[in-house]
Chain A
């Protein structure tokens, strides 16, 4: 009897103890490390990137240094577009605005279209994932529609809305919604039978099941869809804005091309790339916070 007791104690004791030690130690390492060590760590991460950037700029400079070169070199971009780079918050007449305002206008369209796509996409995805009947009825249609290129929707939505702005928002919506629907449906179809059994034994009603089991269980999949969706939205907005005009980064690029301001296009492209990257990271971050603890059982 004593032997059993001893073994059981050994079995029960070290686990929590070991875990506590691990937590405090990792916390200490993060906060108590000397500043120089952290600087070194940051440098090892950032130096390769800086070197690559420098190499690209040098290669670009050499390639476009000829006087009759059709594209500007980095130094020429700085020279010609200095006004644009230096005054992102400039406010002028009509489409003559600082880059910040163009980006803000585009982001606003994306925000509205993407938010609608997220709400409708998760709802439709839940329906398709939950019901065999809905899947048979809707999934083939989704599979066909999702292959339609975003811009192909624009003439149709212009005809329907008779206005540029809602048409652009609709294009964002219709672009972002497919990956959200499809990933949500997959996530919900993959909810383990065990969780469904738990819900049945607890007699959760449909609303409780949706909020307490379905959404959290499918959250990692849903956020995969949301992340693909935001990337596609940003891809589509630039193209859509080129066609609808007005303030927005897409039309800014088109306008610059029509005015042969190639340097301005390059500056705008850098903005577009960085904003797209930040959007992707933002959704990834939200996803990490929301799905904390759901990945591992």
Chain B
């Protein structure tokens, strides 16, 4: 038994297709403390999304277990809410209804109707989207959609918030704005967060620790980097900060020197 809040124990994942077996993840173990912000970074195809899906319970590990708060987590559930890369809002529901759907499901027994309404609005206010509550996803911008996706996940009060390249599809300015917002929310609520990214700056700016994955097939954790930067962090001040630059360099070196992306490794 480990004492950490979330722990991944010796996760192996292989896919079988037409008799050939492809090892995606090999012996991935990770311990995350409560309230920690962890980024997982690696080249595309290294299986980092697969790893997140395993934690979410959307994919089953071939061997190994995920333990959350002392319990085995092998099925999807609202205690591990996911913010999907492409927002995944239901287009036939309004912004409010998208968040409310999760709230109704999670708090059906513990909150009254009025409380669930207030809780939905509180979470929309948290991501500054309360003004668009009655709009449909098709009527708001990509950045706004992603904010609603974050609100939907936060509103379920998950034990771990899983972010799957949440800002990947956004323009640089919107992305910076959302990163600041996520940092603020994390400071306020103290969530435990697991975030997939391929953006080095994003990883260093947001994370307490950065998990660097080696290239697949058979990807494993190559290195874990502590980011000893005080919070709250401000991107402008950090731009010239020595620790920040050192961390950044460490990640870049890992990604581009030791584990350069190899096209078609087979």
- Listed in ascending order, the chain A residues whose CB lies under 8 Å from chain B are 1, 4, 7-8, 11-12, 15-16, 19, 192, 194-195, 197-198, 200-204, 208, 212-213, 216-217, 219, 291, 293-297
Contact = CB atoms under 8 A, between A and B. Distances in A.
A297 B89 CA distance: 8
Contacts of B92: 216-217, 219, 291, 293-294
A133 B229 CA distance: 55
28 contacts: A1-B234, A12-B177, A19-B139, A195-B90, A197-B56, A197-B76, A198-B90, A201-B56, A201-B76, A201-B80, A201-B81, A202-B101, A202-B105, A202-B156, A203-B105, A204-B105, A212-B90, A213-B90, A217-B90, A293-B91, A293-B92, A293-B138, A294-B91, A294-B92, A295-B91, A297-B89, A297-B91, A297-B138
Interface string B90-110: 111000000001100110000
Interface of B: 56-58, 76-78, 80-82, 84, 86, 88-92, 101-102, 105-106, 131-132, 136-139, 141, 156, 173-174, 176-177, 234-236
Nearest to B145: A297
Contact of B236 (A4, A195, A208, A217): A4
B225 to A, nearest CB: 26
Given A8-B177, A216-B90, A297-B91, A201 B82 contact: yes
Specify which of B86, B101, B131 lies most central, judged by the most chain A CB atoms within 10 Å of its CB. B101
B101 A296 contact: no
B141 A202 contact: no
Contact of A203 (B56, B76, B131): B76
Contacts of A4: 176, 235-236
A212 to B, nearest CB: 7
Looking at chain B's contact residues, is the secondary structure mostly helix, strand, loop, or mixed?
A: mixed
Contacts of A197: 56, 58, 76, 82, 84, 88
A261 B137 CA distance: 59
A293 B139 CA distance: 10
A194 B102 contact: no
Contacts of A219: 92
A203 B78 contact: yes
B88 A198 contact: yes
Nearest to B177: A8
Listed from nearest, the 8 A-B pairs whose CB atoms lie closest are A194-B88, A200-B76, A216-B92, A296-B138, A294-B92, A297-B91, A293-B136, A202-B105
Contacts of B84: 194, 197-198
A4 to B, nearest CB: 7
Contacts of A217: 90, 92
B15 to A, nearest CB: 16
Given A11-B174, A15-B141, A202-B156, 7 more contacts: A4-B236, A11-B177, A16-B131, A195-B90, A208-B105, A217-B92, A294-B92
Contact of A194 (B81, B86, B132): B86
Contacts of B90: 195, 198, 212-213, 216-217
A296 B91 CA distance: 7
A200 B58 contact: yes
Contacts of B77: 201, 203
A22 to B, nearest CB: 11
A294 B89 CA distance: 11
Contacts of A201: 56, 58, 76-78, 80-82
A11 B138 contact: no
A15 B147 CA distance: 15
A215 to B, nearest CB: 9
Contacts of B235: 4
Given A197-B58, A294-B91, A297-B137, A7 B173 contact: yes
Nearest to A203: B77
B53 to A, nearest CB: 9
A195 B131 contact: no
Contact of A202 (B57, B78, B137, B139): B78
A216 B94 CA distance: 13
